[in-house]
Amino acid sequence: MVAIEIKNVTKKYDDVIAVNNLTLSIPVGSLYGFLGPNGAGKTTTLKLLTGFIKPDSGTITTISKKVSFLPDVPGFYGYMTPREFLTLCADINHIDQKDKKIDELLEFADLKQKNRKISSFSRGMLQRLGIAQALITSPDILYLDEPVSALDPIGRKQVLEMLKALKGNMTIFFSTHILADVERVCDYAAIINNGNLVTAGTIDQLTSKTSSAMIELSVSSITPLLISQIESEEVVEKVVHEDNMLYISVKDKEKAGITLIDIIRENHLILYKYDLKSTDLEDVFVKAVIK
């Protein structure tokens, strides 16, 4: 089932196309990473999703109106304590048993002991409070704009752990330019560049979409004839011989696998090692953005 359906959405600012004909389906309960370099159109997309700006064309439909949002730099009333701020949010939304809920959220955000003014908070604490305030309404959909980008490694880890803990309870759509974070917690990702959607799917789908790969091969005898035989194959891009190992760049890892095994068999060689280095999201991202 789809939680958020974005169909042919375009948004322009004067002559600049911030988002161009974006079409994307976000499954219910998914933790969806929205990747892109700075200025790719991520924040504009999130503002379109949250209704703060209107698309020039296209439609956005969501399965629920219970949505929450955390902007990239969340602003709080610095004179309040986290409990006071969450109480304000709870009161606005007429939350039942608000004290219990606030206690739970402060615990979840590791802010229960932080009963001082928000103005004295670190970026990491602000971000965790931002997630807590977003959860006070028990949303079905949670939008987060670059929730970890400005945090130190500890802060990042804490926020990502929070997102991981929420996985499955709601649909989470978050933008980032940090690939490792998406790989770490997301089950889906989309890559946007210059306002255009480059690719989208599960993390496995995205990484397998890139058919090129590196194969590490070790056989009983590596001769110049063997190397030239491998190089002559159409599927092979490059062969490097180093320390009794062959590092073979291939265009298509499936076809290359069959071809290389055939060559080994024809040459009556013993196969010591065959290691297919899988493509990670970084390769997909770099290729998508450079394209």
Partner 1 sequence: MRLKLFKKEIIELCKTPRGWILLLLFIGFSLVNAALARYTPEILAKFGDLGINIPPATFYDSYIQFYKNMNSGVLIAVIIIYMTTVTREVKKGTIYLILTKDITRNNYLMSKYVAANLFFTLSYIIASIIQIAMTALFFSSYYTSEILPGYIVFYLFGLFLLNTVIACSASYKSGGIGAFVGFFILLISPYISLIPVVGKYTPGALANFPVNFLMKSADFNDIIAAVMITAALMFLIIYLSFMKFNKREL
In the complex, the residues that contact partner 1 under the rule CB under 8 A are 47, 50, 52-54, 67-71, 73-77, 79, 88-89, 91-94, 130, 133-134, 137
Instruction: Compare residues 62 and 279 and give the one whose CB is closer to partner 1.
Output: 62
Strand 188-193, strand 196-202: pairing: antiparallel
What is the spatial order of strands in the sheet that 196-202 belongs to? 67-70, 141-145, 171-176, 31-35, 188-193, 196-202
Instruction: Compare residues 39 and 71 and give the one whose CB is closer to partner 1.
Output: 71
CB of 17 to partner 1, least distance (A): 16
CA distances (Å), origin 1, targets 59, 60, 97, 144, 225 = 18, 15, 31, 21, 55
CB of 91 to partner 1, least distance (A): 4
Instruction: Compare residues 74 and 155 and give the one whose CB is closer to partner 1.
Output: 74
∠ Cα 21 52 82 (to 5°):
130
CB of 55 to partner 1, least distance (A): 11
CB 281 within 8 A of CB 207: yes
CB of 77 to partner 1, least distance (A): 6
CB of 85 to partner 1, least distance (A): 9
Give the type of residue at 197: L
CB of 143 to partner 1, least distance (A): 8
Instruction: Compare residues 91 and 107 and give the one whose CB is closer to partner 1.
Output: 91
Tell me phi and psi for residue 264, to 5 degrees.
-60, -45
Instruction: Compare residues 106 and 189 and give the one whose CB is closer to partner 1.
Output: 106
Q: Burial of 51 by CB count in 10 Å (0-12 exposed, 13-18 middle, 19+ buried)?
A: exposed
Instruction: Compare residues 41 and 74 and give the one whose CB is closer to partner 1.
Output: 74
The SS3 assignment for 13 reads: strand
- Bridge partners (DSSP) of residue 4 are 26, 62
**DSSP state letter for 167:** B
